[in-house]
């Protein structure tokens, strides 16, 4: 009776497996195997494609090198003259041909030039590769020319600005010296910043004619040269010792 009273369903652990469900699930294991297999197949196919591309590039490079060598040999053979032992050369001599002259006495001496072309462009059209190189060279030359023109223009503008600034400075110096020689009151101008000087010079327009006029007044009336920095005893001494009127002469 004791055996009949025992609950045979009480302990279910003896009927369950101790391993995790995922390891015993055939569907999960099959999916994992398929995923790993697809990844391995993708890597292998990528390697095969890369290897095929490398093989194509190497084959193309070898073909181009071989074509260049053939072209060089062909051009070298064209530059060499036909030997006199050639049957065609012997036949021409028998018909009166003189080496170094044209056929018939009035024909062209140099043979027709040969241009080796590997492209499929029509006759009379420039080779696409050479055309591309020529256009690139023309573009480089054009850009270089534009750059030189811009630099020259910039240099001219800087030089002109510097020259105008020197005209203004020399004019004020000459004006101050003339006022002193004429016993006039000299106005002392306070030193200003470069920006303020540029703005003042832009507003004040002084030409080279204005500077030349005041320089001539100093020379004629007081025998003074601004660029020599001295007053001569006479006009003759000024003409003999002073190299010129302008600053460039000094």
The answer to whether residue 235 is domain-embedded is yes
Distance, CA of 104 to chain centre: 53
Other CB atoms closer than 10 Å to residue 170's CB: what's the count?
A: 19
**54 falls within a domain:** no
Q: How confident is the model at residue 38 (pLDDT cuts 50, 70, 90)?
A: low
- Grade residue 193 by pLDDT with cuts at 50, 70 and 90: low
Please give the average per-residue pLDDT across 177-194, as a whole number: 64
Mean pLDDT within 9-38: 54
Which pLDDT score, from 0 to 100, does residue 240 have?
87
Domain with 180, as residue range(s), is 131-241
Q: How many domains would you assign to the chain?
A: 1
The verdict on residue 14 lying in a domain is no
Residue 138 lies in a domain: yes
Dump pLDDT digits (tens) for 43-86: 677 777 787 788 888 888 888 888 888 888 888 887 777 788 88
227 domain residue, yes or no? yes
Residue 147: per-residue pLDDT: 92
In a domain, 186, yes or no: yes
The arithmetic mean of pLDDT across residues 88-109, rounded, is 80
Residue 92 counted as domain residue: no
Q: What integer best gives the mean pLDDT of the chain?
A: 77
pLDDT in tens, 197-248: 555 545 568 888 888 998 898 888 888 988 888 888 888 888 888 888 888 8
Half-sphere exposure of 126 (CA within 13 A, CB side): 8
Phi, psi of 189 (to 5 degrees): -100, 130
Asked, for residue 30, whether it belongs to a domain, the answer is no
């Amino acid at each position: 009776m004791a055996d009949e009273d025992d609950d045979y369903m009480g302990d279910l652990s003896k009927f369950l497996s101790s391993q995790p469900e995922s390891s015993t699930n055939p569907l999960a294991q099959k999916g994992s195997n398929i995923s790993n297999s697809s990844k391995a197949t993708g890597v292998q196919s990528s390697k095969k494609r890369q290897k095929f591309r490398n093989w194509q590039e190497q084959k193309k490079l070898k073909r181009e090198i071989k074509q260049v060598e053939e072209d060089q040999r062909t051009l070298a053979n064209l530059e060499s003259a036909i030997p006199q032992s050639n049957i065609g050369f012997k036949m021409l001599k028998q018909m009166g041909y003189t080496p170094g002259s044209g056929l018939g006495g009035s024909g062209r001496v140099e043979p027709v030039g040969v241009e080796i072309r590997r492209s499929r462009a029509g006759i009379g059209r420039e080779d696409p590769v050479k055309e591309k190189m020529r256009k690139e060279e023309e573009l480089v030359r054009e850009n270089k020319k534009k750059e030189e023109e811009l630099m020259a223009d910039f240099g001219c503008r800087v030089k002109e600005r510097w020259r105008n600034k020197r005209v203004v400075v020399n004019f004020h110096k000459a004006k101050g010296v003339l006022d002193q020689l004429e016993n006039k009151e000299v106005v002392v101008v306070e030193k200003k910043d470069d920006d303020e000087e540029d703005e003042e010079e832009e507003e004040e327009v002084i030409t080279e004619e204005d500077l030349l006029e005041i320089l001539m007044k100093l020379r004629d009336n007081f025998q003074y040269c601004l660029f020599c920095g001295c007053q001569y005893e006479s006009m003759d001494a000024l003409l003999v010792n002073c190299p010129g009127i302008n600053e460039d002469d000094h």
